[in-house]
Amino acid sequence: MNNQVRTVIAGIGSYVPDTILTNDQLAGMVDTNDEWITQRTGIKQRRVIGQAEYGSAGLAARAARAACQAAKLDPSQLDMIICATITPETLCPATACYVQADLGAAKAVAFDISAACSGFIYAMAVGEKFIQSGSHKNVLVIGAETLTRFTDYTDRSSCILFGDGAGAAVLQPAPSGSDRGICYTTLHTDGTGGDLIYIPAGGSRLPASAQTVAGGQHFLKLRGREVYKFAVEKMQWLLEDCMRACNLSPQDVALVVPHQVNSRVIESAADKLKFPLDKVLVNIDRYGNTSSASIPIALDEAWRAGRIKPGDTVILIAFGAGLTWAGAVVKF
């Protein structure tokens, strides 16, 4: 744990689109079935943005407004907006810039972070550093994704996984002397695993063309079985590391909020550490994998449901494309 000014989460909010895509509906689109998806992933349904006229920024702004409201902060008071996304509104400008304009947060500097499913924790860690330095006070961090717009609905091994949504949190300096707030963050990257989960075309390496679109190269590709093994190992390592770094035992932890990658990944990581499963939040059944949005959506739900109360210690752990993995310990 560090002894500098603590950074508290002053308010959380989330937003998911209304439209639900069930496993049975997917079974009408590709060769799959509810039983296979449920057993292998824990997913029963996911939210999809469909034909809405906006993308990730629209979801992000809705979540951001809810977070500002929870923090009793007018968006015009924001100093910084950091948006974690791998499904940006446009390649240029950053999604955070659209959010800044939408919120009317005129004095906030706004930029994106691309760290896939670890993105929200990366964004929190970056925001925390600005607050600790004293240069910024009201920092909005967002995880927002429209993965279904990058999903190949002819590929049964990946299209069952993803959903859309956004979550946001307002970070502020803790009152002096307070032990509440972010106690620990740990961020990691292994770029040699970049081709395990990636979108081949649409960037500078392979710009979008009629050929790339015809070949489906603008869709997210993943080598699920290989990712699975790595995810279990890293989720287990992160949980252990967070507890060790803050000298916590399972009794001290109110809730673990993991990235919702696959319920089997989450359960086996907890199992290996003999960590009680009733303290591990799983909502993948309702939302699927929403990448950077999954942790803040889950945090918002847990807070509103009273599963997280003031004073509780919560561990966040995530793993994703990059490869990236990240953890955080927060005292609410």
- CB atoms under 10 Å from CB of 195, counted, come to 12
**Judged by CB under 6 A, does residue 230 bind ligand COA?**
no
| Cβ at position 222, least distance to ligand COA in Å | 4
Answer for which of 160, 168, 232, 266 binds ligand COA (CB under 6 A) is: 160
Active-site position among 68, 97, 117, 159: 117
Annotation marks residue 259 as catalytic: yes
- The upper half-sphere exposure of residue 266, i.e. CA atoms within 13 Å in the direction of its Cβ, equals 27
Tell me the number of residues near ligand COA by CB under 6 A. Answer: 21
Spatial separation of the C-alpha atoms in residues 149 and 163, rounded to whole Å: 10
Does an H or E element contain 25, and which? helix 23-27
CA dihedral 114, 118, 119, 125 (to 10 degrees): -120
| Cβ at position 109, least distance to ligand COA in Å | 29
Asked if 204 and 96 touch (Cβ cutoff 8 Å), the reply is no
Active-site position among 68, 138, 218, 259: 259
- CB atoms under 10 Å from CB of 307, counted, come to 17
In the range 203-222, which residues lie near ligand COA by CB under 6 A? 222
Answer for which of 11, 173, 181, 320 binds ligand COA (CB under 6 A) is: 320
Query: Where do we find the tokens 């603008």?
Result: 218
**Judged by CB under 6 A, does residue 156 bind ligand COA?**
yes
Cβ neighbours of residue 135 closer than 8 Å, sequence gap 6 or more: none
**Judged by CB under 6 A, does residue 157 bind ligand COA?**
yes
DSSP state of 162: B
**Judged by CB under 6 A, does residue 100 bind ligand COA?**
no
**Judged by CB under 6 A, does residue 151 bind ligand COA?**
no
Annotation marks residue 289 as catalytic: yes
Catalytic residue set: 117, 259, 289
Give me the residues that bind ligand COA (CB under 6 A), please: 32, 36-37, 40-41, 117, 156-157, 160-161, 197, 222, 224-225, 227-228, 231, 261-262, 289, 320
